[in-house]
Amino acid sequence: MTTLPSIAELRAKAHPPGLLDRRSGEHWAGRMYMRRISLYATRLFLVLRLSPNQLTGLMIVAGVGAGFALLWPGLPGAILAALLVQIYLLLDCSDGEVARWTGRTSMTGIYLDRVGHYLCEAALLVGLGFRAAGGQPTGYAVLGLAAALGAILIKAETDLVDVARSRHGLTAVTEEAVEPRAAGLARLRRVALVLRFYRIILAIELSLIIVVAAVIDTVRGDLLATHVLTVAVAVVAGVQVVLHLVSILVSRRLA
């Protein structure tokens, strides 16, 4: 019978040096609490002999399920969506930890992980739009779809940098290359990083804001807060698509 690793042994191999310091690659929720919780879940997944790609598949199910949960009106649907997003984050941590422990890292796993992020971020925004529209294909549903398209485009803009560099024979982009070449633009980027307004369209933050909006709607007896939130995410997604593209073009990422 295979001896299971201790949490300390698992942490030493599954959390390589610098993992929690990757500001651009590790979500704040992962650094703050989920990477500590995920090790215990990862140990269970090793017992169940779940592969990294199976965990990634479950991650996608949880993330997309959060979008569908928002079709359940009222506070219960919002809470369920937020819980599913937390499970999505947990599985997103554990699939890589299982891969590193078992030595089963693969390009397929990386690809599925990226596809999963595309689907899950978009699903929550689509779900929010239909929630605001009362489940009907009205204007709010269109705004949710537009926000989802924006979220996908933002991720595509990021990933296409690596595609362009690879086809040009360059290695992956470095942290230093992200900084805009012009001093003024670099300052604006730092301001944006401080304000972090773009995080309103990210699944973890958005799921929590949706719960707050649902509480307000419950107290008011209408969907005003959800309506305002839906408009806000559509505007932020549209603005961020343009700003992110500009930030890439004025940086050294394509140099």
The total number of structural domains in the chain stands at 1
CA–CA separation, 91 vs 94, rounded Å?
5
20 in a structural domain: yes
CB within 8 A of 14, min separation 6: which ones? Answer: 39, 42, 96, 97, 98, 100, 101
User: pLDDT tens digit string along 114-147?
Assistant: 999 999 999 999 999 999 999 887 899 999 999 9
254 in a structural domain: no
User: pLDDT tens digit string along 185-221?
Assistant: 556 656 555 557 778 999 999 999 999 999 999 999 9
Per-residue pLDDT band at 1 (split at 50, 70, 90): very low
151 in a structural domain: yes
Per-residue pLDDT band at 226 (split at 50, 70, 90): very high
User: Which range marks the domain in which residue 196 is found?
Assistant: 7-249
The pair of three-digit structure tokens given for residue 39, joined into one six-digit string: 């090790």
Query: Do 147 and 163 contact (CB within 8 A), yes or no?
Result: no
145 in a structural domain: yes
2 in a structural domain: no
67 in a structural domain: yes
What is the SS3 assignment for 251?
strand
Q: What CATH number does residue 147 fall under?
A: 1.20.120.1760
CA–CA separation, 237 vs 202, rounded Å?
10
1 in a structural domain: no
Amino acid identity, position 176: E
Query: Do 143 and 231 contact (CB within 8 A), yes or no?
Result: yes
255 in a structural domain: no
What is the model's pTM? 0.88
User: pLDDT tens digit string along 144-168?
Assistant: 999 999 999 999 999 999 888 888 8
Query: Do 129 and 141 contact (CB within 8 A), yes or no?
Result: yes
What is the SS3 assignment for 70?
coil
